[in-house]
Structure 1
Amino acid sequence: MVMTPAVRRRPGAAADRRRAARWGTLAGLLVTLVALLLAPATPASAHAVLVSTSPTASAVVPNAPAEVVLTFSEGVRKVPGKIRVIAPDGSRADRGEPTFNGTVVTIPVDPSGARGTYLVSYRVISADSHPVSGAFTYSVGAPSTPPTDSGTDNRANPVVENAVKVVKFAGYLGLLLLVGPALVLAALWPRRLSRRGPARLAWSGLGLLVVATLAELWLQVPYTAGGGLFEVTGSGLGDVLGSAYGTAHLVRLGLLAAAAFLLRPLFAGPVGRTDGIILGILGGATLFTWPLAGHPAASPAPAVSVVVDAVHLGSMAVWLGGLVMLATFLLRRADERELDAILPIWSRWATLAVAALLLAGTVQALIEVATPAALVDTTYGRLLLAKIGLFALVIGVAAYSRALVRRRTAAGRPGSMRRAVVAELAITAVVLGVTANLVQTTPARTAAANVAGSSAGYFSSTLTSPIYSLQVELDPAERGNNSIHLYAYTPDNRPQPVKEWKATAALPSAGIEPIEIPLLGLTDNHAYGEISLPAAGQWQLRFTLRTTEIDQATVTATVPIK
């Protein structure tokens, strides 16, 4: 039999397409390589916490310092224009740009500054790409009414914060919509069925993943700077692209571009073993760009965290993507004989994916949570508990599906199997939403340490009465010797002269009657004292201030002492 010219050209055309796909893949890999070569060399680090300042927060120093020093738990990066020192009169006291040296940030200030209280506000970027912001005061000579910083707002924009979570969710959704069809078409798809529907689903997933990645790069600018949704400048975008976060996203885009050239022939028909292996390697490498741009790369054990997070993400994509393919296509189109062959294989895949999810999730939780108390005392821990509860519910539904497969009834009753799969997908959609919030939340190990440091190391509160307000500062708010500072202000926040100060401390739960606290007036509105608190508990502090010969008022505070 003589083949027609049209038939003879087909092998050559197929070979040309394969060569074009591989050249396209090579081009995408070259883009990825360039992004890696241009990546900054940054050390692994954890979510930064301010551990000390000079001058100390709330301290009263005799002379104006020439610089203010902030020391963080880990190295931080600058957010332009977001570190400021405000003088008592509301003017800028900082002079020139702050310098960053690892964990230490040094801010030059005017050494001839006026007496009174200064406000230091800051916003920096920690190694895991999340912003860290805060403020504190110190006083020169004597305290005054704290100034306000009207020139900048270090609070996060709620619209931007929510938008970041939405695009994170979209990225996860795009990943599973891409991985599921690609995996099923490569290994489980019946030859007699058209590949057009799964191919469209996979291209939609790829497009969604690319758009989400670009949106994350865009949103990272206002997210780190504290601006609005469209407050993106060229310099800000350049800073993001030049960071480890930006590099991970650029590498992801390059790998997706490389994979796209091999996905096209896969969606048209079965591909060779070499192309399948290359596609698998590209997919595995892409998974690592998520942990490298988030908490895992900045954990106490970054190598372990990055690997287990990539395994966790890949297992999720295989499991959920496969479920989407089952519910949308296979359980509707495949006949009973085909389902008898497909479902046992899929069941084993799903079991392995779930086992990997559990193992990787357990390891990551041990690293990020650190202590059992942090599970309930931090937002991260509570979100993790919610995710575990939902996951347990999904496992129950999955066990029912597996029982159907083992009894060989799924192929004959695809409706029951489909309902179980839809239930799994519905619950896991909520799990993905919780995960999108989780990756934007301060890790429990850091949040717990921060809470512990603030509650056990310092107490500050403002108490009000009809004739004055009283700022109370107790340091270190622990058993043993403690220093107490009192600052009195008028109802309109001007310094309130005090003629007589009285204070007592009691612990009724331990039967400790009120102990008088000796106070020394340092200025007309500032008093200082020392007291030894012998036991832990909820101490009751009582302050009586006489402002004139006849006017006086008493205020109380409950102070937790550990």
Structure 2
Amino acid sequence: MFRRLLILPILIISLLLLAAPGAFAHATVVTTSPTDGQLLASTPHQVSVTFDEPVELQFGALRVFAPNGTRVDTGSPDHPAGHADQVAVGLEAASAPGTYTVAWRVVSADSHPVQGAFTFSVGAASATALHPAALNPAGSTAVGVAYGVARTVAYAAFAVLVGASAFVLAWWPAGARTRPVRLLLGSAWGGLFVATVGVLALQGPYGGGFGIGRVWDTGVVRATLSTRLGEALSVRLALLVLAAGLLAWLVARVADASRRARLLAAAAGTVLAVGTAATWAVAGHAGTGMQVALAVPVDVAHLVAMAVWFGGLALLAGIVLSRRGPADPDEKARLVRRFSPVALSCVIVLVGTGTYQSWRQVGTPSALTGTAYGRLLLVKLAGVLLLIGLGALARGWIARHRGSQTTTATATATTTTTTTAIRSLRRSVACEVAVGVCVLALTSALVNAAPARTAVAAGAGPVSASVAFDTGGPAGTGTVQVTVDPARTGTDTVHLYTLGANGAREQVLEIEASFGLAAQNIGPLPVRLRASGLGHLTGTVAVPVAGSWQLAVTVRTDDIDETVVRIPITIR
């Protein structure tokens, strides 16, 4: 029965790995300079891309291609003025007129690669000889599949290691003497260690879009170690080395240890388990976005509760309730009764922390069905509900068999009945383990997917546009760039940039802006602007309804020369 049940999670894991693309967009672009499609009078000194969160450049690139397809960027991309959310690269001077293509690839704060491209023109738009395949690498399917497998194995091994260790330490110290328990604990530790090394080796090719042959490239590994995820994985490996010593003590000494020694071991194990769980939290979705200070400990609690529950179930189904467990059926039943309230507590923690995580990553009910993350989350929630139902069956079994007594006259009959009941419980727990493996696979897929909030934000804004201006006076030509974020009804933030004829930011004497919606006779709605740097002004405006608005920008370059340019902005 147990072997047949394993077919289900294996099929689900395979489908998830085959259906999932190699990378998902997590960090989103706020603005580019020049803006997409902008027409400039001369070649800018540099191009830049600004994101909504810090990004890493270890495996990133910002490349600029001339109309004939040749590279015209100079130097290496960097974060200008220490802005971790911005990437810039210089351009060659005196480049040919025509349409230029900018391709970017970076690694977002939650360790996933993001990429894209945009164009701008100098002098006049033109055709380009650049082939689309040359813009950004598509990534290796083999690397993507191996990366997903390694992350799933790491989750499962962590759960079994923590949950089985806690079970043995708290309720079944004598089990540490048995070969099956030692084999399970050793395999879980080894699986987690190997999977962590695998993720560390695969992160570079995954983030950089390289082939499987670059897995053990020392330069790629060194670059990975300097990333946020690389540092977290290094800490995890160090914690696993410490855990190996505690595990050796557990299998060799816990059966005869005093209560005080077991309490000290439990405290040390808790610290190691929490620390290991934190290496996932700080380098994943919880470590970026809003409320990080709350999200990280909530994610840690979620992972530890999952591990105690799932690992305990795996030990029950695989060893305790099988022929390899205690010979006395009453002892088996006692262990199940001891584990049951802890499992229920873990479920309560999982529901509470999972609800917060779902709200943080999804945001709105429509995002549940309108994004890949939301749909995966719904499937995972269905699996969790099924687990809770199977757990209720197990608690019902405990209620029916609690306090059963064996008498001399009916010893044989009672033992037979208890053995049959144990077999029935083992089938129920085996089903829980099988569904739990599916939930772990879905968790791995969710970690690799763009949060629903990010996906919705990427599809809803911000909106960027640009238009040339000419006040008619000396040095009166240039470009106005505007970004409206999030370009939805309500309060929107407006960023205005003024660029000179050479494409560099320049300060003008005065600039004013207002929104109007002629179709409904609304406006003008003035935007209160304030200086935010050279050639950069920001302000806010309350937009009451959706529609095709126009942003009127008045540009004054001296006391008498000014002009008004109008930029269409779609508010959703």
TM-score calculated relative to the size of structure 2 = 0.70
1:254 aligns with 2:238: yes
CA deviations on 1:97-123 (whole Å, 9 max, x unpaired) are 222132222221123111111100011
Using the alignment, how far apart are the partners of 2:124 and 2:87 within structure 1? Answer: 26
Question: Shift in Å at residue 82 of structure 1?
Answer: 2.4
CA deviations on 1:46-98 (whole Å, 9 max, x unpaired) are 94211111111011222221211211112222145722100001111112222
Decide whether the 8 Å contact of 1:327 with 1:418 is kept in 2.
yes
Using a 3 Å threshold, how does the CA distance of structure 1 residues 457 and 393 change in structure 2: closer, same or farther? farther
Decide whether the 8 Å contact of 1:64 with 1:111 is kept in 2.
yes
SS of structure 2 residue aligned to 1:282 = helix
Using the alignment, how far apart are the partners of 2:138 and 2:370 within structure 1? Answer: 23
- Opposite residue 193 of structure 2, the aligned amino acid is V
- Opposite residue 293 of structure 2, the aligned amino acid is A
Mapping 1:98-497, distance limit 5 Å: 98-100=77-79, 101-148=83-130, 153-189=136-172, 191=174, 194-232=177-215, 233-270=217-254, 271=257, 272=261, 273-332=263-322, 333-334=325-326, 335-408=328-401, 413-453=421-461
Using the alignment, how far apart are the partners of 2:338 and 2:231 within structure 1? Answer: 38
Using the alignment, how far apart are the partners of 1:181 and 1:240 within structure 2? Answer: 32
Using the alignment, how far apart are the partners of 1:284 and 1:143 within structure 2? Answer: 57
Question: Shift in Å at residue 190 of structure 1?
Answer: 6.5
TM-score calculated relative to the size of structure 1 = 0.71
2:20 aligned residue: none
SS of structure 1 residue aligned to 2:105 = strand
- Opposite residue 121 of structure 2, the aligned amino acid is S
Using a 3 Å threshold, how does the CA distance of structure 1 residues 139 and 344 change in structure 2: closer, same or farther? same
CA deviations on 1:155-200 (whole Å, 9 max, x unpaired) are 3333222221111111012112212321222122263884221111
CA deviations on 1:403-456 (whole Å, 9 max, x unpaired) are 1111217955101101111111111111111111110111111111001127x7
- Opposite residue 154 of structure 2, the aligned amino acid is G
1:73 aligns with 2:56: no
Q: CA RMSD in A?
A: 2.6
1:496 aligned residue: none
Using a 3 Å threshold, how does the CA distance of structure 1 residues 478 and 426 change in structure 2: closer, same or farther? closer
- Opposite residue 221 of structure 1, the aligned amino acid is G
Using the alignment, how far apart are the partners of 2:399 and 2:31 within structure 1? Answer: 61
- Opposite residue 98 of structure 2, the aligned amino acid is G
2:39 aligned residue: 60
- Opposite residue 365 of structure 2, the aligned amino acid is P
SS of structure 2 residue aligned to 1:407 = helix
CA deviations on 1:330-349 (whole Å, 9 max, x unpaired) are 11233232134222221101
Identity of aligned residues (%): 38
Using the alignment, how far apart are the partners of 1:311 and 1:157 within structure 2? Answer: 34
Mapping 1:515-534, distance limit 5 Å: none
Using the alignment, how far apart are the partners of 1:283 and 1:193 within structure 2? Answer: 19
Decide whether the 8 Å contact of 1:82 with 1:123 is kept in 2.
yes
Using a 3 Å threshold, how does the CA distance of structure 1 residues 108 and 352 change in structure 2: closer, same or farther? same
Using the alignment, how far apart are the partners of 2:342 and 2:227 within structure 1? Answer: 37
Q: What runs of 5+ residues in structure 2 fail to find an aligned partner?
A: 1-24, 403-416, 466-482, 490-544, 549-569
Decide whether the 8 Å contact of 1:86 with 1:147 is kept in 2.
no
1:96 aligns with 2:75: yes
CA deviations on 1:483-540 (whole Å, 9 max, x unpaired) are xxxxxxxxxxxxxxxxxxxxxxxxxxxxxxxxxxxxxxxxxxxxxxxxxxx9869xxx
Using a 3 Å threshold, how does the CA distance of structure 1 residues 81 and 406 change in structure 2: closer, same or farther? closer
SS of structure 2 residue aligned to 1:289 = helix
